[in-house]
Amino acid sequence: FKEKINLKNNLSISSMKKLNFHSHCVKEFQNKYTIIKSGIRDLDKFIGGFKSGEINFIQGYKKIVLNIPYQICAKTYTTHHKNVIYIDGGMSFNPYIIAKYARKMEFDQREALNHIYISRAFTIFQLTALLHYKLERKIIECSPKIVIIGKFLDLYLDSDISSSEADILMKNNLRKIKDITKKYELVTILSDFDTRTTIRKKVNRILYENIDQIVKIKKIGQVISFNFEKKNSRNSFSIIEKGQSRLNDFEMAM
């Protein structure tokens, strides 16, 4: 694991690198019940935030789903002074957006970035190797409060691997993620803005059986709907966009 990177570097799974130049990690875990807010007022009010020890899957409307992890990254350190591990499964990670949210919170952007560990998995096999052989070691080293895996589902829909192999890998990887989430009292966020209707039912079943909370976000016209599934309960609410002033509600909630 290397300790220094340039923000413009092409990061790979071969070494999980930290957006940091001089700070050190705290190696002791504080297993306290923690709630992390998404940064979206209406969403946080409705679900009360994301809880430690749980796996959350956020899927749907790209504008919101893509930005929720960035807002969480900014808020986690500025609010809880904890590190974040971010695994980018879709070549979409943008540290400059996190810096923007940090500035909105009137916090030093470099200080916020200094507490984010980033790695990219270009294939499902790279993600599998990272989850089973590197992630826990990094968790012990830097004591994060959040683990985020971006575009998680997309890697399992790769046409280069068979559906049966993808199913086996998903089961094993979700089992590992669940074990680590419980063991270290993490808030784990899996995200994907893929809304393809061709996703196999078995993939959804495997995913949903291992997730504590599912948040689906859809946009039809000016209506944005939030649908929640947790254990045996379901809930939803909708918001009508009313120009730019309403869209601002989907930025950082201060």
What is the structure's pLDDT at 171? 94
What is the structure's pLDDT at 32? 58
What is the structure's pLDDT at 46? 84
Mean pLDDT (whole number) for 217-223: 89
What is the structure's pLDDT at 198? 55
Give 189's strand partners.
Answer: 56, 148
From CA 252, how far away is CA 99, in angstroms rounded? Answer: 12
Spell out the alpha helix ranges (H) of 34-162. 41-47, 62-80, 95-104, 109-113, 124-133, 135-142
Of 148 and 248, the one with more pLDDT: 148
Pairing verdict, β 223-230 and 233-240: antiparallel
What is the structure's pLDDT at 238? 86
Report pLDDT digits (tens) over 10-21.
334 444 444 433
> In this model, does residue 96 exceed pLDDT 80?
yes
Mean pLDDT (whole number) for 25-52: 74
Mean pLDDT (whole number) for 186-198: 79
What is the structure's pLDDT at 194? 65
Domain 17-250, second-level architecture: 3-Layer(aba) Sandwich (3.40)
What is the structure's pLDDT at 139? 96
Report pLDDT digits (tens) over 131-181.
999 999 999 999 999 999 999 988 888 888 898 999 999 999 999 999 999
What is the structure's pLDDT at 31? 47
> In this model, does residue 3 exceed pLDDT 90?
no
- Residue 104 tokens, joined: 């909105």
Report pLDDT digits (tens) over 113-133.
989 999 999 999 999 999 999
Q: Which of 99, 187, 91, 119 is nearest to 147 (CA)?
A: 187
Pairing verdict, β 233-240 and 187-192: unpaired
Report pLDDT digits (tens) over 59-92.
998 888 988 999 999 888 888 888 999 999 877 8
DSSP letter, residue 46: H
What is the structure's pLDDT at 9? 37
Mean pLDDT (whole number) for 87-109: 87
Residue 5 confidence class, pLDDT cut points 50, 70, 90: very low
Q: Counting Cβ atoms within 10 Å, is residue 103 exposed (0-12), middle (13-18) or buried (19+)? A: middle
Domain ranges, ordered by start, for the chain = 17-250
**Half-sphere exposure for 101 (CA within 13 Å, toward CB):** 28
DSSP string, 109-141: HHHHHTTEEEEE-SSHHHHHHHHHHTHHHHHHH
- Neighbouring CB atoms inside 10 A of 5's CB total 16
Residue 8 confidence class, pLDDT cut points 50, 70, 90: very low
Tell which phi-psi region holds residue 180, choosing left (phi > 0), alpha (psi between -120 and 50) or beta: alpha
Mean pLDDT (whole number) for 224-237: 84
The whole-model pTM stands at: 0.81
What is the structure's pLDDT at 153? 87
Q: Is the dihedral of CA 49, 252, 131, 233 positive or negative?
A: positive
